[in-house]
């Protein structure tokens, strides 16, 4: 979907973001609703990093992040829960869907097995292009999974 097409569907995005925000947290509702109304929205479902029968009980949890882009400014909030150990770091990475890539920026994450994510980031033009090509993703690292426990690609919301 092109950027202009997205802006034509702002009201739909706004409604969708509102419902997502309700899921995420009451406190960030106003902020996200406001952002959604004036910018393009993205969403990532956070789910466990690649697992095997041996690791499925040690790479766990889920969550959601929503992000909006105004110019090159990306505002992201999110929530996660059920990780096997406390979050240590969270990042945005650059890689096309299902293909890992390098870190773009750090996120603020609650140092717990559940909590919140947030970030305000000035993206480069290349990073904005990557975002619009579904090629930015959120990854949360934990004490027992330093290589990452939760991950999710940001997709433009229809």
Contacts to other proteins from residues 15-74, by CB under 8 A:
45, 47-57, 60
Residue 153 interacts with other proteins (CB under 8 A)? yes
CB–CB of 101/95 below 8 Å? yes
C-alpha span between 157 and 129 (Å, rounded): 16
Phi and psi of 73, rounded to 5°?
-90, 120
Measured CA to CA in angstroms, residue 115 lies from 16, 68, 86, 145 at distances of 22, 20, 9, 17
Over the window 130 to 149, marking each residue x when it contacts other proteins by CB under 8 A and - when it does not, the resulting string is ---xx--x------------
Shortest separation between residue 151's beta carbon and other proteins, angstroms: 8
Binding site for other proteins (CB under 8 A): 1, 45, 47-57, 60, 96-100, 133-134, 137, 151-153, 155-156, 158
């Amino acid at each position: 979907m092109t950027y202009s097409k997205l802006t034509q569907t702002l009201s739909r995005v706004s409604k969708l973001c509102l419902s997502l925000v309700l899921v995420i947290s009451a406190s960030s509702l106003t902020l996200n609703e406001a952002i959604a109304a004036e910018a393009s929205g993205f969403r990532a479902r956070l789910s466990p990093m690649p697992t095997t029968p041996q690791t499925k009980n040690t790479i766990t949890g889920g969550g959601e992040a929503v992000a909006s882009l105004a110019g090159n400014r990306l505002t992201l909030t999110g929530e996660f829960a059920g990780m096997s150990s406390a979050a240590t770091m969270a990042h945005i990475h650059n890689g096309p869907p299902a293909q890992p890539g390098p870190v773009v920026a750090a996120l603020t994450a609650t140092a717990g097995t559940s909590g919140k994510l947030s970030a305000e980031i000035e993206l480069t033009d290349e990073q904005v292009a990557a975002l619009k090509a579904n090629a930015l993703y959120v990854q949360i690292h934990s004490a027992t999974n330093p290589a990452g426990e939760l991950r999710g690609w940001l997709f433009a919301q229809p």
